[in-house]
Amino acid sequence: MSNLLSEKFVTPSLPDFIRNLVGTLDAMHREGKYHGKISKEIKPWMDSSGVNFDRDNFRSSAVELGNDVEAQIQQDVKNFVTCSKYWISSPTASLEADFKADLYQGKNLPMLFLKFLESCNPESGSTLRTMADFVKTLEQTPEPNAAAPVEPPQISPPASPPPSTHTANTQFSIALRNGTVGKPYEIEPSAIARAIANQRKDDPEKARISHLQLPDGCGLQFNEQTGAVTGIPIKALEEQLHLDYVPSPNETSITCKVSLLINPDPASLWKDLPPPADAPYQKDLLDDKEYTLGDFRIIAASRRGRSHANKGDFRDDDFAVGYADSTGWLVVVVADGAGSAKYSRKGSQIACMVTSERLVAALNTPEYQTISPPQIEQAEGGPVKPRKWLKELLHEAALDAHYKIQGEADQPSETLPEPPTIRNYDTTLIILVMKKLERGCFTATFSIGDGGAGILDTPDYAEPLTHADGGEHAGQTTFVTISSTVSNTPENLDKRFKMSTTMDFTAALVMTDGITDPKFPSDAAFSDPACWQSLWQELEPALVSSKSLLDWMNFFSPGNHDDRTLIAILPATTPSEE
Amino acid sequence: MRRLPVYLVLDTSGSMSGEPIQAVKNGVQMLVSSLRQDPQALETAFLSVITFDSSAHELVPLTDLPSFQAPNISATGVTAMGEALSLVAECAKRDVVKASATQKADWRPMVFLMSDGVPTDDFEKGLARFKLEKWGAVVACAVNDADVSILQRIAPESVVQLDTSDSASMSAFFKWVTASIGLSSKSVQSGKELEGLNQLPPPPPEIQVVV
């Protein structure tokens, strides 16, 4: 065998197997052999050198580095070390001392070999050449007293060194519990020592960790007295660390590997990308408005969700507010364009505009001027027919939205790459109309799809005003763009229409599912007045302006990153109160 | 929050030993590391690892990605694929939250099964049990000499094939699984579940789709 590189290593103090390893790898690579072949040939003498060599592991972890033979050998030696189940121990600063000591004591050589390779500055030239120089300097160094222990200084009572097999050939590794940036992290006192003791069948009561090197500036601290790890992680990492384990007070420490993983803060991973500037149907990413209309104060805001911002998608939500000033009817509409429909941002916009305009026009007629609670109670479908049942009026507005969206699909107002269909504009729709009565307040809703509306009165009253169109599976809903959903059947109308009369109210809320999903985690929660009240507690301080509502709507809730739209309707404060 | 459960069902029989099993191990590690960089997957995806050799083992129960620790996998024994199918079905039955008045349902679980062999146990029994659960996307990956027709019975329209089990093709497979989970977690957050191969990202050239 021609040991090209090992010829450079005239180093009698290096054990044969290291020289053989380098030489063999060198020769084989130059002959163009595969890793499988290499591992097969080196295994027998690796075993005969007393090294527990995992051939399969070696072969599979090999990396092809092209024609760079020296880099290849260096990589292979690293793999060899990994596969030989040696620990990587003390910091590279003490490398040279360790190397010398172990070199003369014949301990842990492959490990040191690796540390040496890693410590060589790749910029300074060939690693292997640097190594040859290093070994030469070693040869000139007098051999130290072999009995002198070269242990780290921090170890407890002096003791006879443990058998070398005890430290070198015992494989155990510990993974610390994963952490997340910004969330308090704690490993209980002694827990790590106990875990290692149990693996090694040592006495857990006597074992302790004398040292654990945590990455600088990671935000975690190791308490050497108690063995606890505490702190708040400040950066994401995935690292192999080292710790010194002392099995019992009479024994010296053993260095072992420990892995630690800190997850990034999910909030920091979201990107905020603008939608393509050349896409049709451009739309603002944020929208907010506030009004005082007759008896009502309205604060409305709508913002693009994180999941949309992350992909550079548009805000698909929309809203509209209208007021019939001759009769005092308020009209509020929110719509949530489907994420799966490419022009749903336009669909939701049309739906809101069309329904609010149509309803304001219709309700602004004298027929809708008077409406009294007894009439509402008696009527089977809404207030006694002034011109039309209110239920039919709301339904017709939704139907109108359907046809206007169909019209847009047939003749798009913008240039589109290909002819759209109405389903490209899928959107939900929630209409709420409200009128102050002589005593109390009347509200009616018509809803298609998810999201929801409700009215509440502090401290404990709340009434949901919509049924969410949830499917049997999570996430299914329906849209105003689906014909059967806007059909004129009595069952369909009854399901979608709801009305209520209250004596007093604190607020009525109309929301898309970007708000209802995180705030009402289930259908039961949506019917629970306590949930409405706790939402109100959170929301009320934000209702000083539509801008502050917009800020509040940026709250972080895992798994809930859809567009969010919320319209709060409050009784207008009377002039005397202002 | 609605979770997206993902079951990795991996063949760890003796024939996978050496480079293949190391590649699987690296693949799982890579999968988790890259999903951790995806905010939607990090929140939504829950991962379980089930291995099968002479018997089936729930190596890692369904775990959220932030807490997940890659398991140590070794290869030995024969191919108890039937038992693995029963086990993953039992795990899903136990783990996956069904809709109720007070709780929203989890998304239907995804299954990625990888095998390089032929079942050596009662496959029919396991398959029958597997079919009792409701699954989202189920993808089976045939490695080397695996019996494709067997895998097609598990995932009728979603069998892919790796002709070699070297680290490069394994790594390509796990990258594709990663992309699939990532896409699925985005998709469920906008309310849509992925069901079959045609909705997953296109497989890389190392992976052949079996028709």
DSSP labels, B113-162: EEESS---S-HHHHHHHHHTS--S-EEEEEETT--HHHHHHHSTT-EEEE
Domain that holds residue B128: 4-210
User: Helix (H, G, I), strand (E, B), or coil: what is residue A436?
Assistant: strand
Q: Residue B114 and residue B133: Cα distance in Å, rounded? A: 19
Average pLDDT for residues B141-150, to the nearest whole number? Answer: 88
Cβ neighbours of residue A12 under 8 Å, at least 6 residues apart? A139
As a whole number, the mean pLDDT across chain B is 88
Handedness of CA A262, A264, A267, A268 (dihedral sign): positive
Residue A207 pLDDT exceeds 80 = yes
Q: What is the number of structural domains in chain B?
A: 1
Q: Is A467 in the B-facing interface, judged by CB distances under 8 Å?
A: no
Residue A263 distance to chain B (closest CA, Å): 6
The long-range contacts involving B89-96, CB below 8 angstroms and separated by at least 24 positions, are B89/B129, B89/B130, B89/B132, B89/B133, B90/B129, B91/B7, B91/B48, B91/B50, B91/B58, B91/B61, B91/B62, B92/B5, B92/B7, B92/B133, B92/B135, B93/B133, B95/B5, B95/B46, B95/B48, B95/B61, B95/B62, B96/B5
Q: Quickly state the pLDDT bin for A51 (edges 50, 70, 90).
A: low
Average pLDDT for residues A49-56, to the nearest whole number? Answer: 61
Q: Where are the beta strands (DSSP E) in A68-170?
A: none
Residue B152 pLDDT exceeds 80 = yes
Q: Please give the DSSP secondary-structure letter assigned to residue A74.
A: H
Are A177 and B40 inside 8 Å of each other by CB?
no
CB-based contact A467:A478 (threshold 8 Å): no
Select from B40, B65, B192 the Cβ nearest to the Cβ of A307: B40
Q: Which helix (H) or strand (E) holds A443?
A: strand A441-448
Are A559 and B23 inside 8 Å of each other by CB?
no
Q: Is A64 in the B-facing interface, judged by CB distances under 8 Å?
A: no
How does strand A564-571 pair with strand A296-303? antiparallel
In order of A25, A76, B14, B25, B32, the CA distances from A58 in angstroms are 13, 8, 17, 14, 23
Enumerate domains of chain A plus CATH numbers: 6-140 (no CATH), 170-268 (2.60.40.10), 286-577 (3.60.40.10)
Q: Residue B192 and residue B136: Cα distance in Å, rounded? A: 11
Which of A65-74, A198-207, B81-90 has the highest average model confidence (pLDDT)?
Answer: B81-90
Average pLDDT for residues B16-43, to the nearest whole number? Answer: 87
Select from B66, B190, B192 the Cβ nearest to the Cβ of A178: B66
Q: Residue A202 and residue A245: Cα distance in Å, rounded? A: 11
Q: A227-236, A434-443, A445-454: lowest mean pLDDT where? A: A434-443
A76-95 pLDDT, tens digit each = 665 555 444 333 333 343 44
Report the pLDDT value the prediction gives residue A229, as an integer from 0 to 100: 94
Q: Is A474 in the B-facing interface, judged by CB distances under 8 Å?
A: yes
Taking CA–CA distances from A339, the nearest residue in chain B reads B190
Residue A413 pLDDT exceeds 60 = yes
Average pLDDT for residues A514-523, to the nearest whole number? Answer: 90
Give one word for A291, left, alpha or beta, with left for phi > 0 and alpha for psi -120 to 50: beta
As a whole number, the mean pLDDT across chain A is 77
Residue B209 pLDDT exceeds 70 = yes
Judging contacts by C-beta atoms under 8 Å, the chain B residues touching residue A472 are 99
Q: Quickly state the pLDDT bin for A165 (edges 50, 70, 90).
A: very low
In the numeric block, the tokens 């929309």 are attached to A318
Q: Residue A520 and residue A532: Cα distance in Å, rounded? A: 8
Q: Which of A34, A37, A59, A60 to mutate to test the interface with B (most CBs of B within 10 A)?
A: A60
User: Helix (H, G, I), strand (E, B), or coil: what is residue A15?
Assistant: coil
Cβ neighbours of residue A34 under 8 Å, at least 6 residues apart? none
Residue A502 pLDDT exceeds 50 = yes
Average pLDDT for residues B6-11, to the nearest whole number? Answer: 95
Q: Which of B12, B104, B195 to mutate to test the interface with A (most CBs of A within 10 A)?
A: B104
Are A60 and B19 inside 8 Å of each other by CB?
yes
Would you tell me how many other CB atoms lie within 10 Å of the CB of residue B42? 21
CATH code of the domain in which B112 resides: 3.40.50.410
Q: Is A558 in the B-facing interface, judged by CB distances under 8 Å?
A: yes
Axis-axis angle for helices A69-83, A109-119 (nearest 10): 140
Residue A470 distance to chain B (closest CA, Å): 10
Q: Quickly state the pLDDT bin for B207 (edges 50, 70, 90).
A: confident
Select from B69, B186, B193 the Cβ nearest to the Cβ of A307: B186
Q: Residue A243 and residue A531: Cα distance in Å, rounded? A: 49
Q: Is A524 in the B-facing interface, judged by CB distances under 8 Å?
A: yes
In DSSP terms, which residues pair with A180 in a beta bridge? A263
Cβ neighbours of residue B203 under 8 Å, at least 6 residues apart? B160, B176, B209
Nearest Cα neighbor of A480 from A337, A316, A315 is A337
